[in-house]
Structure 1
Amino acid sequence: MRKSVLAAVIALSGLVSPAASAFDPDTPVGEKPEAFPITLGDEEDATIDLAFRTAFGLPKGAEPEAARTIDERSYHFRPVAIHLLEDNTGVLLSVGSLDEAGHSEGGLNAIHYLKSSPDGWVKQGEWIGLGATGTVGNGATSWAFSSLLGRNPYLITAGGGVWQGCAIGSAAVTELAPDGPVDRGSFTDGMSSGAGLGQTEQEYEGKIAAAVPDKSFTVAYTGTRSFKQEYVLKNGKYELVGKDQVPGC
């Protein structure tokens, strides 16, 4: 499962990219109205190079990829999604793959806050090590932004891996607070077994299907059997109510 990484917060500003306006491909417009269940996707946005260059301090025209050495390990980041907040702050999600990773080692996710201005994106802050990641050096493998969970928008990221024929995935919910993103908890978003010797064949998929903003959310599972699990916000973290009904590997 994903490796826990200490989130590093670096407040930075001052780098500017070419103009970001309502007609700039970096600025999402005409987004579809939100509804439950919250469905994660893995399609990478190919129009957000300008924001990525500002976030990582790359020169104009540079390829949208950046190398970082963190805790003496080398990661390569690429942009995958951006979300525009009401105050014209762009939230950029980039995923970093870990070089020479072992099976159980995860990558890293980077979140940047970028202010939209007539002169372009201006970097507001950088946070590395938040959200869910995959195994074999992968960052998040799917993601979604949602305004359905609280007064502040949320980023949901997911990742996982396969162990001897059993696959299991975890999703993290990260609040996009004005002062910076905060991980608020996680839940199992998928499980599949049966490919390994002696394993029971079963499969589950979980999606956030309802929420009381800033208080709780419900994950609905389908597959071998259907059920729901509730997570309640307590001391800043969403915690499962009762016993986890999703089998482990």
Structure 2
Amino acid sequence: MFDALLFFSAAMASIVPSEPTAADTALPVQLGDEAQPDLDEAFIAAFQLGGPPAEVGEAVRTLDGEAYYFKPVAIHAIGDDIWALLSVGHQDEAGHVSTGINAIHYLRDTEGGWQRKGEWFGNGATGTFGNGATAWGFSRALGKNPYLLTSGGGVWQGCAVGSAVLTELAPDAPVDRGSFTDSMSSGAGVGQKEQEYDGKIISAIPDRSFTVAYTGTRAIRQNYVLKNGKYELVGKDRIPGC
């Protein structure tokens, strides 16, 4: 875990800057509990809940006629005493094709407690069966603003695909800037070709481009370039889908 690269889930794709600084190449640092705000306290302020943190479980929100149940999973400082809180929301008894939803809140850390500055739903990757993101992390290697990376996906008749979404935590609001396949495996279904890929971001030029390297069936590298506010794949996608 590096100062410039903080991950909260081991399943999340890794990133390293293309031109490391002294901070980037420092020994891994594990933040102590006292260095991280209490998730439940931030969650209460974000969803404007009542009751002490110990009694808070989930927050329920109805969005487009669907009830989602949210839990906080990670919080990260993005500057000027502002923190970004990620909460993942799931649906109960959801079918395979249903997805969950993610919530991002911007909170100001004040002496009197948390103050909510903004609330957004629908950013980032989600999974099947009504689940939100299944992995997440934060990085400062992709641009001048911090980035949230989320991963989600599912299995379809013996073929599994995962997708990672890059969300810029801009001062005014979070913005999804692009996505890439971060995992793929097949062969369990009838007549399927057996193959497997795992992708990780191995280098980045901030606010310009990044490179994903894949291991598995074949070694592949794919480049993404920022165009009109979105990261686009250069050339044809060589990672098969389901």
Deviations 1:204-249 (A, max 9, x none): 0111110110000111111111111001000110000000010111
Question: Could you list the runs of 4 or more consecutive aligned residues of structure 1 that deviate by over 6 angstroms after TM superposition?
Answer: none
Q: Which stretch shifts more, 60-69 or 181-190?
A: 60-69
Deviation at 1:41, TM superposition (A): 3.3
1:54 to 45, 56, 64: 45
Once the two structures are superposed, residues 64-84 of structure 1 have per-residue CA deviations (whole angstroms, 9 ceiling, x without a partner) of 310111111110000000001
| 1:108 is aligned to 2:101 | yes
2:184 aligned with 1:188: no
Match of 1:122 in 2: 115
Query: What TM-score do the two structures reach when normalised by structure 2?
Result: 0.85
- Picking from 202, 219, 231, the partner of 1:226 is 219
Q: Distance in 1 between matches of 2:239 and 2:140?
A: 26
Residue of structure 2 equivalent to 1:26: none
Deviates more, 1:59-68 or 1:125-134: 59-68
Is the CA contact 1:219–1:229 (under 8 Å) kept in the aligned structure 2? yes
The TM-score normalised by the length of structure 1 is 0.83
Q: Which runs of 5+ in 2 are unaligned?
A: 13-35
Q: What SS is found at the alignment partner of 2:41?
A: helix
Post-superposition shift, 1:32? 3.3
For these two proteins, the number of residue pairs brought into alignment is 217
**What does 1:139-150 correspond to in 2, within 5 Å?**
139-150=132-143
Which one of 174, 179, 182 corresponds to residue 172 of structure 2?
179
Confirm or deny: 8 A CA contact 2:105 2:117 kept in the other structure. yes
1:41 matched to which residue of 2? 10
Deviation at 1:101, TM superposition (A): 1.7
- Which residue type is aligned with residue 215 of structure 2? T
- Per the alignment, residue 203 of structure 1 pairs with 196
Answer whether contact 1:105 1:135 (CA < 8 A) is retained. Answer: yes
Distance 2:172 2:240 in 1: 37
Query: Is 1:241 the counterpart of 2:234 in the alignment?
Result: yes
SS of match in other structure, 1:85: strand
Counterpart amino acid of 2:3?
A: P
Q: Distance in 2 between matches of 1:42 and 1:241?
A: 25
> Which runs of 5 or more residues in structure 1 are unaligned?
1-30
Partner of 1:84 in structure 2?
Answer: 77
Report the residue type matching 2:105 in the other structure.
H
Distance across 2 between alignment mates of 1:57 and 1:198: 51
Q: Provide the residue aligned with 2:27 in structure 1.
A: none
Task: Name the SS of the counterpart of 2:79 in structure 1.
Answer: coil
Per mean C-alpha deviation after superposition, the further-off stretch among 64-73 and 171-180 is 64-73
Identical counterparts, % of pairs? 62
